[in-house]
Structure 1
């Protein structure tokens, strides 16, 4: 019995000493000369140095409202002003708080696309025309041509399923309450050509669209007819058809064990395969069942919400809420803002009257900016 008591005493003493040896976190934040200052709608990132951080939890607050629970601070401010920031680090040894002030400057931004990072359309009837391409063009020269169009709020085509464009802005588009932006297209009543919208923010702060992408989960995202991780390969024709029309023009195969052809119509006589691409072109994404149907004439009614070139630009249903974003596993994500947008054609459908259903992009509107 005596031995048991002694052993318990040793355990309790050791536990008491271990707890006493844990010190409260020590916080060090290097403040720039003149204090922290940032323009509105730009990311402010702060990386504090924390000693004694074993088992620590963190909390950042802006004007008393919690904004982050990570070791590093990351925020984008919608309005100019002076903001009090508080950083709290807590462990078993205690709690340490660091408070400082951030000045957010006012700035005027351009409410449009300011840069195109990549342009890769799928085959279609407006390819090599919108924008104009020649056989001497490359991926880079076509990127520049797409950028010239979109920065002027002029239209480009994405062609058939999977064709895409990636673009950015001179500011961060903030995720506020309600809808945040519109991708401009040329949709009108019963003439939707929906494009899926992907969003990303500059997590690595390098100014490039090379961070994780999130899909805007529109009205079709969870439907049984939607195919995730769809993949299609287009094959360049050996030669252009001699006839004005050709139903079996550009062959395609997909990962659903289907094959078919993109037809050539009499209205567009140029090559429908991008001049600057090789013999095949493989594109991937989420596939949505087309609404194309023939009534008295061919129509393509709009999806309910969440896509580009789906409703007219002035219709509230064309507006996008960043809060609809989901990750690759379909889980909702909470993004404070986005710096990059990617749009790709979600459909593979065509008819003999109007040709293939192809998404067009004609600009961008940030609803935070008047």
Structure 2
């Protein structure tokens, strides 16, 4: 019996040893697979011509992010070698005291890294005096070091093989004229630098050490003449590069008023075809010229009923400064406002045309429950002019709210109210504001249309501060506030569909413009 028990014990012991050997072998195989996978992943990076954008130590590994977003994990038992800020070789955070040749950050040649016979790290055939005891004796497929220098990240294997991948800060290509750039004040200054190794990079533009933009391109404007120091910084997880230069801003004299009219389209109204005067032979182009003449010579234009508009431009950028920035002139007076909504735009594509995104100045009525966004109205040209000079059912209209009605004829204006140069229907879209108009007399003899609180044209007297506009009130099509540095174009359209008895319809008038910062 004792012999049997002894034999069983030996068998169990041998069986346990066998299992341990099998487990060790499995672990070795798995470890080898992992190391070979690292090698294959690095080769794949080379084949795809990717580059390193960042690296960090995480959960016992160096996590290296490539330009396509993929991440490689290298066990941080490998040593990390780089050039420190003092120009010396640093190994695992320790200064070797040995100077490195060449400047870090510039793409160059990878260093030659090996473990010497004495067990020290050898870099470019120079003994660093730092022991590599933690790496000596590793398997051939093991990565013994990861180095970052001269814009190259190099992975060195125990058998001497190396794989090198570009790992540099974003490279900035920007041609700067001799003596720097030059621009007139209150004109857009734009730059589009070309970058490489910029995947995942962040950007910063500084003017006289003050950040003005965090985008890759610069689109800015200078309010005053002078010389400005400009820096562009591009940074990724590897490092940062900077391009510095000067911008000379020249003095310039501008007209404080309207320079050009880009579009003029009044809705039907009692002053349509009068301000400016129109004939049956006029066209969009000739009416545009007439409107421009009126608004550049001290006269005015009428925008007719709801939606009628005018688009104006200037010889300089209206800069968004602290406080109110401009006023569009009208002819409002006490208890009679004909408020027009203001839209603003800047010349983003730099072509001098009003074809960029528009932003609405969100005045005091913008968020009220009675305000209708995306309102649309269509007017229909009458087949004949009415015999009754005060015909109430004169020009038919329908809207997208399911309503229909008429623009009334006014005995004081015997001409046609429908724009002579337009087709049989005209449609306008915009934000509809509930009018404040009411009959003070209760018998139709005395009408009033009190002004809105702020933010509109032809709403308060031209000299009243409540008629001034702050560009910072601008919102996008989603109603979100936007930060505009300046604007180049303004559109004004009538916000009301209302009539005041014998006074006729509420029709916004525009008579000029003033830049409050000029």
When normalised by structure 2's length, the TM-score is 0.70
Matching of residue 357 in structure 1 with residue 502 in structure 2: no
CA distance in 2, matches of 1:236, 1:186: 28
SS at 1:264's partner residue? Answer: coil
Matching of residue 323 in structure 1 with residue 349 in structure 2: no
SS at 1:350's partner residue? Answer: coil
Matching of residue 219 in structure 1 with residue 364 in structure 2: yes
Q: Which runs of 5+ in 1 are unaligned?
A: none
CA distance in 2, matches of 1:101, 1:33: 10
User: Is the contact between residue 47 and residue 71 of structure 1 (CA under 8 Å) also seen in structure 2?
Assistant: yes
Structure 2 residue aligned with 1:24, among 169, 175, 182? 169
Aligned length: 369
CA distance in 1, matches of 2:341, 2:147: 55
SS at 1:247's partner residue? Answer: coil
Q: CA deviation at 1:29?
A: 1.1
CA distance in 1, matches of 2:298, 2:362: 25
CA distance in 2, matches of 1:59, 1:18: 28
Q: Deviations over 1:261-287 (max 9, x none)?
A: 000011000000000000000010000
* TM-aligned CA distance change 1:264 to 1:96, over 3 Å: same
User: Is the contact between residue 179 and residue 246 of structure 2 (CA under 8 Å) also seen in structure 1?
Assistant: no
Counterpart position of 2:515? 366
Q: CA deviation at 1:2?
A: 2.9
Q: CA deviation at 1:18?
A: 11
* TM-aligned CA distance change 1:177 to 1:8, over 3 Å: farther
Aligned pairs (5 A) from 1:85-164:
85-164=230-309
Q: CA deviation at 1:98?
A: 1.0
CA distance in 1, matches of 2:322, 2:208: 18
User: Is the contact between residue 380 and residue 425 of structure 2 (CA under 8 Å) also seen in structure 1?
Assistant: yes
CA distance in 2, matches of 1:18, 1:266: 89
SS at 2:412's partner residue? Answer: coil
User: Is the contact between residue 266 and residue 309 of structure 2 (CA under 8 Å) also seen in structure 1?
Assistant: yes
CA distance in 2, matches of 1:273, 1:34: 58
User: Is the contact between residue 440 and residue 447 of structure 2 (CA under 8 Å) also seen in structure 1?
Assistant: yes
Q: CA deviation at 1:358?
A: 0.4
User: Is the contact between residue 286 and residue 346 of structure 1 (CA under 8 Å) also seen in structure 2?
Assistant: yes
User: Is the contact between residue 330 and residue 511 of structure 2 (CA under 8 Å) also seen in structure 1?
Assistant: yes
Counterpart position of 2:211? 66
- RMSD of aligned Cα (Å): 1.5
Counterpart position of 1:307? 456
CA distance in 1, matches of 2:316, 2:30: 68
CA distance in 2, matches of 1:265, 1:43: 47
User: Is the contact between residue 117 and residue 166 of structure 1 (CA under 8 Å) also seen in structure 2?
Assistant: yes
Counterpart position of 2:395? 250
- Greater relative contact order: 1 or 2 (C-alpha under 8 angstroms, separation 6 or more)? 1
User: Is the contact between residue 172 and residue 241 of structure 2 (CA under 8 Å) also seen in structure 1?
Assistant: yes
Q: Which runs of 5+ in 2 are unaligned?
A: 1-26, 39-60, 63-71, 75-145, 154-164
User: Is the contact between residue 112 and residue 153 of structure 1 (CA under 8 Å) also seen in structure 2?
Assistant: no
Matching of residue 2 in structure 1 with residue 28 in structure 2: yes
Q: CA deviation at 1:35?
A: 2.1
CA distance in 1, matches of 2:203, 2:192: 12
SS at 1:332's partner residue? Answer: coil
Counterpart position of 1:260? 405
* TM-aligned CA distance change 1:136 to 1:222, over 3 Å: same
Counterpart position of 2:202? 57
User: Is the contact between residue 174 and residue 338 of structure 1 (CA under 8 Å) also seen in structure 2?
Assistant: yes
Name the larger-Rg structure: 2
* TM-aligned CA distance change 1:7 to 1:302, over 3 Å: farther
CA distance in 2, matches of 1:48, 1:15: 33
CA distance in 2, matches of 1:311, 1:3: 84
Larger deviation: 88-97 or 333-342? 88-97
CA distance in 2, matches of 1:57, 1:7: 37
CA distance in 2, matches of 1:7, 1:91: 32
CA distance in 2, matches of 1:61, 1:206: 26
Counterpart position of 2:185? 40
Larger deviation: 353-362 or 16-25? 16-25
Counterpart position of 1:343? 492
When normalised by structure 1's length, the TM-score is 0.97
Matching of residue 238 in structure 1 with residue 383 in structure 2: yes
